[in-house]
Structure 1
Amino acid sequence: MTSWTDHLPVLPVLLPMATAVALLAMGDGAGGHGNRVLRRARWLSLLSVLAGLAIAVALALRAADGTLQVYRLGAWPAPFGIALVIDRLSALMLVLVGLVALPALVYASGGWDAHGRHFHALFQFQLMGLSGAFVTGDLFNLFVFFEVLLIASYVLMVHGQGRERLRFGVPYVVLNLAASALFLVGMALVYAFTGTLNLADLALRVPQVPAPEAALLQAGAMLLLVVFGFKAALLPLHLWLPNTYAASSAPVAALFALMTKVGVYAILRVHGVVFGEGAGDSQLLVQPWLLPMALATGALGVLGALASTTLARLVGWLNVASVGTIVAAIGLFSTAAWSAALFYLVHSTLVVAGLFLLAELVAAQRGAAGGTLEPATPVAQPVLLGLLLLLGAASVAGLPPLPGFLGKVMILQAAQGPAAPWVWAVVLGVGFLTLVGLARAGSILFWAVRHEPAEGGFASAGASPRLLAPMAMLFVATLALVVWASPVKRYVDAAALQMSDRAGYARAVLGNESAQTVRPYRTTGGSR
């Protein structure tokens, strides 16, 4: 007899989908200010996000003992049916989605959601795509959830309209459509030589593909790396991100901080596990490429931050630099490095999301100068906003005892062999230049001020507690990582170790008998 708790793994997908449909049915008070329908939409969306966060925490607690929760839709056995899999990693990512989505939604409900149509429905579809990407157990449905979150992001990116958003939104859509086409080609090649797209099944079949056929299989895997690298904003596929995120509204940019992590997650799942250790002729396929690309991404990201002329673009470039640091740890291909990558991923996502909200609040209080890094009238709350920027800068740069420092120390400790000097040089160099860039920005924004009165009453704009509270929530969450660093470290250690257990993952998803009797797919015979 099944319990209702057995259906928890599917709720992170169904809940935002059902909420989005309900919001579309009731309308969202488009263009309204204090409209009753809009207020109802806000409350429904907020309650849904709170429920989603509670579900994510419950799944993380259940996964903490190492249990893999497998949900087979329609009771179809894997790999033939759709399987959702909750392990420590996917549960961690679901909690992270909730921790970012909640303050972003509260911030948006301060007025941004009234600037266009159906903001809350689009927000929920975005959460559906993000959550689905983290719980799906096969490549095809990873593609499906990619498309769900991307379609929602296309509209959210231009929500509220504006020339700059349309200017950067069109290339964003076109490039993502091209990446989606490559995703399909890469999947087709993988399926042609393995006969499956289920991740657990792939982990068993990829090692059995012989050398002559493995070349095309590897070509498909490299195409997937291009796609995931684009989503994660790895060099040289990163140029779209800083301007796109800076042009978006602050709550949307904060939520978008999670989108790059979907690409990082996919690289870890597919190239770290399926094409990782024990993958036969395709073993560690991307290792020669991944670490150099990641280190170059981190270096270029921080240089872009130094050259930025607005605070929002600076934060966008720091997002690129943080991705480089995370993927560099993944590219070391060890459980210790993967654990460090996960710890740093959680920290960087929270602090970057908080900095995007902070950038807009500062811009709103500086009159016509906005977020441009040039002298302007003083902000209404220089002490509070200045301290929050200092906290974010210290954490991103990796100063002790903040979580950025802990994550970078873990990465440096995991770096071994010939790559270690390069990892140390780039990680420490990026941290130092990050501190320089944010210190320069802070000195201009809060010290190089003109003391004449602000025109049009801008000085107090964005000073509402309703806008300050969600931003503070994100920074408090980063501080909580310091307080609970030890249990979080144990959790990510166990998550990294669990990912390396390919056989255990296969047994949980496919069942003992299927995992033991799998036969390789042969293109000449056309059958399994």
Structure 2
Amino acid sequence: MNHWLTAPVLIPLLGGILQTFMGYAPIALRRTLALATTVLLVATSMVLLTMADDGSYRAYAFGNWQPPFGIVLVLDRLAAFMLVMTSVLALLAHIFSLGGADEGNRQFHTLFLFQLMGLNIAFLTGDLFNLFVAFEVLLIASYGLLMHGGGTVRTVPGLHYVVLNLVGSSLFLISVGMIYSVTGTLNMADLAVKVPQVTGENALLVKAGGMMLLVVFALKAAVLPLCFWLPKAYASATAPVAALFAIMTKVGIYAIIRVYFLVFGDDAGELANLGMDWLFPLALITLAMGVMGALGADNLKSLTAWQVIISVGTLLAPIALGSAESLSAALFYMLSTTWIVAGLFLVADLVASQRGSAGDRIITAPMMRHRTFLSVLFMIGAVAAAGLPPFSGFFGKLLILMSVEPGPQMAWLWGTILVGGFLTLVAYSRAGSIVFWRTVDGHVETARPLKGTTAVAAGAMIALTVVIVAMAGPINRYTEDTAAQILDTSAYIDILQTPMVGEDD
């Protein structure tokens, strides 16, 4: 049964290879195969979620090379949670792209599937070096996706994105080299055993490597001051690409959870809780910066891009607290904000298609077509993103507020989230009122037809906030169990001692 662990990697890999050799095939055939691949990935992720929900760890050692020497995939509740969140988002973004966003580049579906492969490797790998490999795979694909559609508007943001990530990759290699020079391993379970034993000058070297690694993950997650590349890059991407990119910052957050609770957790001796004292204030400042950016946004895509930064700060603050309750709340909020942000990117593109030359800019324009449908989608997404009832963003933020113990951290967290939520609501209210209701005389003459695939995909993406509310009990139970499993590092270490290919654990 452990062979199931390879499916999230092999499915997009094989699908991407097929797409590579089908560049000149009819677009209908390419779309059918690409969509079938994504649907199969969703089904596989659901199977793995069911397997992981029993609380046990499953490991797959490629070639049966035992750790710490071989390539190991590890499935637990956290990995399965990330796989499902990514695959559902990818399916709806892929459906949206069938409305025409995939045209103009014969390899769009190839890049899309390869990025999914990189994401899935990152969530499943049990080795720091293979985490670096996963980052490179998904980043190389994202470079092509970011430039998809052409136009000079994407050139400068794309260049910034590429350069910063190349710098981050270099730092990643340097940091893992420093850690390997002392411990002789990059297997995460093995590191969890050896790092507590490091002392003296060696401990300083590992600490330096660990802090550099935290900087790399902070860059991937877009933590202040490493977040200014994100708004223009995401706002300039095509809608399905921007929607898929909503999961990119969560990869950095996932890496922080995985590495710094397992390797540098409470049992890491001199290096226990490395960097967590810095992470909490940086998270709150990142949240505040995101709110200021949202207030100053001049178009809907930029507003949504700043919402990504707001969500990063809101997520990392409870993660930095390190309790089971705060971790569970952060995971619940992560699911909500990722899907809602993706949905808002899709809605922003639909709005732009119905406003002619005004696009998605927050300016008065003639009344758009399909205004009622689009305004309802935007309202639901905005209310959920701002954290108001009755949608999922409210429950996520409420769980975060309830997870913190009384004290100075509680005051800072409550104050920042509540004030930030109010100002975020102001930003969305301003944008919605201007775009949908402050119209000038006349009608838009150059609006594109609203296609069924794009409307259904955007509507389904936004509707997921209602699904999360309807399933809040089971989801919260799952995130609570996931948080408890994350903090029980001994179980992770034990299962990686004797992983066997194809054998149930």
Q: Which residue of 2 aligns with 1:427?
A: 417
Q: Which residue of 2 aligns with 1:519?
A: none
Q: Which residue of 2 aligns with 1:76?
A: 65
Aligned letter for 1:12? P
Distance of 2:268 and 2:234 partners within structure 1: 37
Matches within 5 A, 1:32-43: 37-43=26-32
Q: Which residue of 2 aligns with 1:206?
A: 195
Give the aligned CA root-mean-square deviation in angstroms. Answer: 1.1
Distance of 1:28 and 1:361 partners within structure 2: 29
Greater mean alpha carbon deviation, residues 202-211 or residues 121-130: 202-211
Matches within 5 A, 1:12-411: 12-29=8-25, 37-411=26-400
Q: TM-score, structure 1 length as denominator?
A: 0.93
Alpha-carbon distance, 1:348 to partner: 0.4
Distance of 1:497 and 1:476 partners within structure 2: 29
Alpha-carbon distance, 1:109 to partner: 1.1
Q: Which residue of 2 aligns with 1:449?
A: 439
Alpha-carbon distance, 1:421 to partner: 0.3
Aligned letter for 1:269? R
Distance of 2:168 and 2:321 partners within structure 1: 26
Distance of 2:180 and 2:75 partners within structure 1: 24
Greater mean alpha carbon deviation, residues 157-166 or residues 392-401: 392-401
Greater mean alpha carbon deviation, residues 80-89 or residues 467-476: 467-476
Contact 1:211 1:281 in 2 (8 A): no
Alpha-carbon distance, 1:211 to partner: 3.4
Q: Which 4+ runs in 1 deviate beyond 3 A?
A: none
Q: Which residue of 2 aligns with 1:500?
A: 487
User: Residue 488 in 1 paired to residue 478 in 2?
Assistant: no
Alpha-carbon distance, 1:413 to partner: 1.1
Contact 1:361 1:462 in 2 (8 A): no
Contact 1:28 1:118 in 2 (8 A): no
Aligned letter for 1:509? L
Alpha-carbon distance, 1:383 to partner: 1.1
* SS of equivalent residue, structure 2 residue 367: coil
Distance of 2:496 and 2:183 partners within structure 1: 17
Distance of 1:318 and 1:143 partners within structure 2: 27
User: Alpha carbons of 1:430 and 1:421: their partners in 2 closer, same or farther (altered >3 Å)?
Assistant: same
* SS of equivalent residue, structure 1 residue 71: strand
User: Residue 11 in 1 paired to residue 1 in 2?
Assistant: no
Alpha-carbon distance, 1:6 to partner: 2.7
* SS of equivalent residue, structure 1 residue 450: strand
Distance of 1:294 and 1:193 partners within structure 2: 30
Distance of 1:462 and 1:257 partners within structure 2: 26
Q: Which residue of 1 aligns with 2:502?
A: none
Distance of 1:28 and 1:324 partners within structure 2: 44
Distance of 1:509 and 1:40 partners within structure 2: 42
Q: Which residue of 2 aligns with 1:523?
A: none
Distance of 1:115 and 1:99 partners within structure 2: 25
Aligned letter for 2:438? A
* SS of equivalent residue, structure 1 residue 309: coil
Per-residue CA distance 1:210-232 (angstroms, 9 max, x = gap): 13321110110111111100110
Kindly indicate whether structure 1 or structure 2 has the higher relative contact order, using CA contacts under 8 Å at least 6 residues apart. Answer: 2
Per-residue CA distance 1:231-275 (angstroms, 9 max, x = gap): 100000000000000000000000000110000000111123311
Aligned letter for 1:464? K
Distance of 1:149 and 1:106 partners within structure 2: 20
* SS of equivalent residue, structure 2 residue 425: helix
* SS of equivalent residue, structure 2 residue 102: helix
Alpha-carbon distance, 1:430 to partner: 1.4
* SS of equivalent residue, structure 1 residue 285: coil
Contact 2:368 2:444 in 1 (8 A): no
Contact 2:265 2:272 in 1 (8 A): yes
Alpha-carbon distance, 1:442 to partner: 0.1
User: Alpha carbons of 1:462 and 1:126: their partners in 2 closer, same or farther (altered >3 Å)?
Assistant: farther
Alpha-carbon distance, 1:28 to partner: 4.9
Contact 2:354 2:368 in 1 (8 A): yes
**Identity in percent:** 47
Alpha-carbon distance, 1:485 to partner: 0.3
Q: Which residue of 1 aligns with 2:503?
A: none
Per-residue CA distance 1:405-426 (angstroms, 9 max, x = gap): 1111111111123211000011
Distance of 2:428 and 2:228 partners within structure 1: 21
Distance of 1:498 and 1:138 partners within structure 2: 18
Contact 2:115 2:141 in 1 (8 A): yes
Distance of 2:470 and 2:188 partners within structure 1: 35
Structure 1 gap ranges (5+): 30-36, 513-528
* SS of equivalent residue, structure 1 residue 94: helix
Per-residue CA distance 1:137-175 (angstroms, 9 max, x = gap): 110000001000000000100111101111211111111
Distance of 2:159 and 2:67 partners within structure 1: 39
Per-residue CA distance 1:39-62 (angstroms, 9 max, x = gap): 111111101111111000000001
* SS of equivalent residue, structure 1 residue 451: strand
Matches within 5 A, 1:459-474: 461=448, 463-474=450-461
Q: Which residue of 2 aligns with 1:477?
A: 464
Contact 1:351 1:474 in 2 (8 A): yes
Q: Would you say how many aligned residue pairs link Structure 1 and Structure 2? A: 498
Q: TM-score, structure 2 length as denominator?
A: 0.97
Per-residue CA distance 1:417-451 (angstroms, 9 max, x = gap): 32110000111111111111001000000111112
Distance of 1:22 and 1:63 partners within structure 2: 30
Alpha-carbon distance, 1:192 to partner: 1.3
Structure 2 gap ranges (5+): 500-505
Distance of 1:144 and 1:510 partners within structure 2: 23
